[in-house]
Structure 1
Amino acid sequence: MISLRPATATDLEWAYQVKKQALGEYVVMTWGAWYEKIQHTFFTETFRELDSQVICWANEPAGLLRVERKKDEIFLSELYLLPLFQNLGIGSQLLESLKTEAHSRGIPLKLTVLQVNEPARRFYERHGLVCSAEIENHFVMTYHG
């Protein structure tokens, strides 16, 4: 039921709303507010169609996935699901696929997660990622397959 399609420029505003719904409360917990102009500008400037895919569940747009495949690591930059599509196993399936890819390439899978986002950190830990470093307001999590 899960499929991915390339993100396009027409997905930009929708993708921003997905991030806001999925991550907004944790941004507020970290920085005290969701500064709309700052968040929108940052998202617009960093939205990369090349690395981004729209996650679909039964052909319905459900979330955003952005993966940066580098020579020495796979970096999971964004995995955001709309609340309606959370806790259905979508994130687990996508993450397991990335772990398999990293293992087959012999490189780590890495990501960052806001320190206040306990549900996300626990999710990644259940899937075998460990906190390997801390950077401002974030944990770096790594999977060595």
Structure 2
Amino acid sequence: MITLRQATTEDRDWAYFVKKKALGLYVVETWGAWYERIQWEFFEQTYQQSLTQIICQDQTPVGTLRVERRTDEIFLSELYLLPTFQNQGIGSVLLEQLKAEARQRALPLQLTVLQVNESARRFYERHGLVCTAEIKHHYVMTYHG
């Protein structure tokens, strides 16, 4: 069973670990290396505990989810799963819930994905999101319910 719980102060380091495991290879492919200090500083600047949820499968933490509910869109800013829990349908369940919320609220669901992360782009395309723009190193993907 997939559940979400609010991130706590104690989850911060674990959330960074998940991000590193989920995105590390793509960061290296995009920028040439995982510069630990730079990545940690960026994480510290952008981490929003109040918006971050811990994804649990049968009460085991397996990833992080951060959704920004704005007046004009639902922005999926982070859906990171530890590699051993990827390709098991967890992301699909969560994404379908967000799509349902977007339809109910009559808002687009939007996200960005690193251009080199082709598997993530294909995942989002399979769920009905389309590339609507490109920004440096990223595709902007949107779902209009």
Q: How many angstroms does 1:144 deviate by? A: 0.1
What are the superposed Cα offsets for residues 74-95 of structure 1, whole Å, 9 maximum, x if unpaired?
0000000001111110000000
Q: How many angstroms does 1:48 deviate by? A: 0.6
Letter of the structure 2 residue corresponding to residue 111 of structure 1: L
What are the superposed Cα offsets for residues 47-95 of structure 1, whole Å, 9 maximum, x if unpaired?
1111100000010000000000001100000000001111110000000
Structure 1 position 52 matched with structure 2 position 52: yes
Q: How many angstroms does 1:45 deviate by? A: 1.7
Structure 1 position 136 matched with structure 2 position 136: yes
Paired residues in the alignment total: 145
Q: How many angstroms does 1:139 deviate by? A: 0.1
Write out aligned runs for 1:1-145 (5 A).
Answer: 1-145=1-145
SS at match of 1:103: helix
What are the superposed Cα offsets for residues 8-57 of structure 1, whole Å, 9 maximum, x if unpaired?
11111100000000000000000000010000111112111111000000
Letter of the structure 1 residue corresponding to residue 28 of structure 2: V
Following TM superposition, the consecutive aligned residue runs of length 4 or more in structure 1 with deviations greater than 4 angstroms are none
SS at match of 2:113: strand
Letter of the structure 2 residue corresponding to residue 62 of structure 1: V
In the superposition, the TM-score normalised over structure 2's length comes to: 0.99
Q: Distance between the aligned counterparts of 1:85 and 1:44, measured in 2?
A: 25
Q: Percent identity?
A: 69
SS at match of 1:50: helix
Q: Would the aligned equivalents of 1:12 and 1:44 in 2 still touch at CA under 8 Å?
A: no
Q: Distance between the aligned counterparts of 1:101 and 1:82, measured in 2?
A: 25
In the superposition, the TM-score normalised over structure 1's length comes to: 0.99
Letter of the structure 1 residue corresponding to residue 63 of structure 2: G
Q: Distance between the aligned counterparts of 2:13 and 2:50, measured in 1?
A: 16
SS at match of 2:132: strand
SS at match of 1:30: helix
Q: Distance between the aligned counterparts of 1:60 and 1:87, measured in 2?
A: 17
Letter of the structure 2 residue corresponding to residue 66 of structure 1: R
